Chains A and B, each alone.
Chain A
Amino acid sequence: MAVQKLPLAKALNESLRKALETDPKVLIMGEDVGKLGGVFRVTDGLQKDFGEDRVIDTPLAESGIVGTAIGLALRGYRPVVEIQFDGFVFPAYDQIVTQLAKMHARALGKIKLPVVVRIPYGGGIGAVEHHSESPEALFAHVAGLKVVSPSNSSDAYWMLQQAIQSDDPVIFFEPKRRYWDKGEVDTEAIPGELHKARVTRQGTDLTLAAYGPMVKVCLEAAAAAQEEGKSVEVLDLRSMSPIDFDAIQTSVEKTRRLVVVHEAPVFYGSGAEIAARITERCFYHLEAPVLRVGGYHAPYPPARLEEEYLPGLDRVLDAVDRSLAY
């Protein structure tokens, strides 16, 4: 039973269950996480099995959720907080940025804040406003936070385990449109390091670097490019803070071309940081400037327009072609 094929959301559920079983200090907090099991059912059945004392339905107040989670962490608990949707995190942004991120340094290391903030993020599900955003750069910019995002069921299970075990606050972005994608999860495997990238497809002509929901798009783009005789490597970054620049560098020194893909707006996005650093590290290896594919500098559009806004297969392939044309 160690290897199971699970939807990503169920893998997260199993991971939370495992954490609740193994560490009595782990708590789950959020809006509707109890009886309902969360709006995406990620916490389904956990309150029934672990009780209202450990799987806590909270008042509808995000700052209050994160602020009290900080207090619980100071008391020795390891709260795993659910923010219902990406666009709802901002009432808690002050507590996350001003308190959660900085308290360990403020105390000169004498206290720890092992809080995980789970955020379903990204678009592609036809939702109303505030339900499709990708605000990861707003957290990666803040020292004291770690920011990760799994792209598949196995990473969902293991990265959440590792995030909960981390003594640092972790913002855990869940690719909500991949919640129903199934993948194998080996619950007895030895997981890779939380903040290391992974090559998910080998290639020699160009590197596509992505994370979360865009990894699947990049794999599809690489397969399509293969039909045209282009060998595209796909790197699943997995962590946006820290970013595994060594892995990107290794790949780019081989392929000499890099395209970074994310749903978040390109402007000040993680692609900008990657482009700058890889240009510094790989200046003499690069055959083309680092290109970026992502969202536009506009509010996330109404659902009928999101296919145009989101970086899909064609826009990724377009960037691949532009890079190879240099």
Chain B
Amino acid sequence: MTVESTAARKTTRRSSGAKRTASASVKKGQGAEPELVQLLTPEGERVQHPDYDIDLSADELRGLYRDMVLTRRFDSEATALQRQGELGLWASLLGQEAAQIGSGRALRDDDYVFPTYREHGVAWCRGVDPTNLLGMFRGVNHGGWDPNTNNFHLYTIVIGSQTLHATGYAMGVAKDGADSAVIAYFGDGASSQGDVAESFTFSAVYNAPVVFFCQNNQWAISEPTERQTRVPLYQRAQGYGFPGVRVDGNDVLACLAVTRSALERARRGEGPTLVEAFTYRMGAHTTSDDPTKYRADEEREAWEAKDPILRLKAYLEKAGHADAAFFEELETESETLGKRVREAVRAMPDPDHMAIFENVYADGHALVDEERAQFAAYQASFADSGAEEGK
């Protein structure tokens, strides 16, 4: 009871802007979108918000810009590598750089991330080597990085499952008395999954220090958000007794400020927050998808005008925070990154055949041992038959 009432109080106090918006939306009727927390307009104008503010140095602003540019460059390289046959699949984050870099840069080292399979920008912020992300898309492993090196869990492919892992991890953080926080990434499609609903329930009931960061990129493969929800997604939090806020997902400053605030709230022991980053998937769902079958070019064009990188660039230039040399250097750095990723992927060896049997269990398993031996003998039999044929 205490938890719920605290959360309810917080909703009122902290998300007053969002609440105003919600009622405005009802008044305006269907089709009217609630306003977003925004600190940087699509034109690159710095604006103020009553509940969220941020004060960044020119250096930090350039850092965010660099993160977004390099992430986009890495992403486009991966798409190209898929087209060249080097990767079996790629899930592009094109258009979602601000949501990922803004939220990713809000994290402390001791915070823990539970991503979907599209969080390449968050991985970048956590210091995961981009080439590590490509193993699973090339088909040499299913992930394979050590989650505890960067506090960045493995990519989760089945939609929404990781929100429960994040909640459980956060429950553990609270038990340990640590003041770190956990962030769970998911999308508008995942918001329909039972696991996401259950993670809201568990995190609220146990007051777990977790931030649910929903990138509403408007499309779950071919299904628009209207097929997932009749209310703005951030409003779902209210029913669970914790605050929800919608942020301009293409505004890196707003994403940083809102996520930072939600993380701080979690650290203070005030429980979960739902952040809905309102953004757009500029590309296909994956390289196997064809968005021309289900959405209009005009929609994409409208979102191009809200591009997260262009608006920060406009602001950096207008404010005099970056000069031509900075952009040129970054261009060179981008190309170097592209080249490095390209070469690393092409050099990535296929796993040894026997890897099928590795790490199935931590403590071993008699059947796996038996089948491993049978498989090894079967493989070895080809050497014998080759010799026999030669006779």
Contacts and interface: CB of A to CB of B under 8 A. Distances in A.
B110 interface: no
A195 B144 CA distance: 28
A244 B366 contact: yes
Contacts of B143: 106-108
Contacts of A72: 168-169, 171-172
A299 to B, nearest CB: 24
Given A67-B161, A71-B172, A74-B165, A144 B360 contact: yes
A110 B176 contact: no
A278 to B, nearest CB: 14
B201 A61 contact: yes
Interface stretch (A94-102, A171-179, A223-231, A288-296): A94-102
A146 interface: yes
Contact of B147 (A91, A109, A111, A241): A111
Contacts of B170: 71
Interface stretch (B85-93, B191-199, B262-270): B191-199
B172 A168 contact: no
B175 A77 contact: yes
A77 B154 CA distance: 19
A103 interface: yes
A304 interface: no
Interface string B174-195: 0110000000000000000011
A53 interface: yes
A243 interface: yes
Interface residues of B, number: 44
A61 B361 contact: no
Contacts of A241: 365, 367
Nearest to B355: A108
A99 B161 contact: yes
Contacts of B195: 63-64, 67, 94-95
B147 A110 contact: yes
A113 B175 CA distance: 18
Interface in B38-73: none
Contacts of B172: 71-72, 74-77
Contacts of B365: 146, 168, 241-242
A242 B141 CA distance: 25
B148 interface: yes
Contacts of A107: 143-147, 154, 359
Given A61-B202, A71-B166, A109 B358 contact: yes
A71 B199 CA distance: 11
Interface string A217-253: 0000000000000000000000001111100000000
A53 B198 CA distance: 20
Given A75-B173, A143-B368, A68 B147 contact: no
Contacts of B163: 67
Contact of A67 (B164, B361, B362): B164
Interface string A69-91: 11111111100000000000001
Contacts of B114: 71
Given A61-B202, A75-B176, A77-B172, A68 B164 contact: yes
Contacts of B142: 102, 105-106
Contacts of A61: 198, 201-202
Contact of B165 (A67, A143, A144, A244): A67
Contacts of B358: 105, 108-109
B169 A168 contact: no
A59 interface: yes
Given A59-B201, A71-B171, A107-B154, A146 B361 contact: yes
Contacts of A59: 198, 201-202, 205
Contacts of A144: 360-361
B363 interface: yes
B234 to A, nearest CB: 21
Nearest to B367: A242
B167 interface: yes
Contacts of A244: 366
Interface of A: 53, 58-59, 61, 63-64, 66-77, 91, 94-95, 98-99, 102-113, 143-144, 146, 166-168, 195, 241-245
- For the complex of A and B, the 3 pairs showing the least CB-CB separation, nearest first, are A71-B168, A67-B164, A75-B172
17 contacts: A64-B198, A67-B164, A67-B165, A68-B165, A68-B199, A70-B168, A71-B114, A71-B170, A95-B164, A98-B161, A99-B156, A102-B142, A104-B362, A107-B147, A108-B359, A144-B361, A241-B365
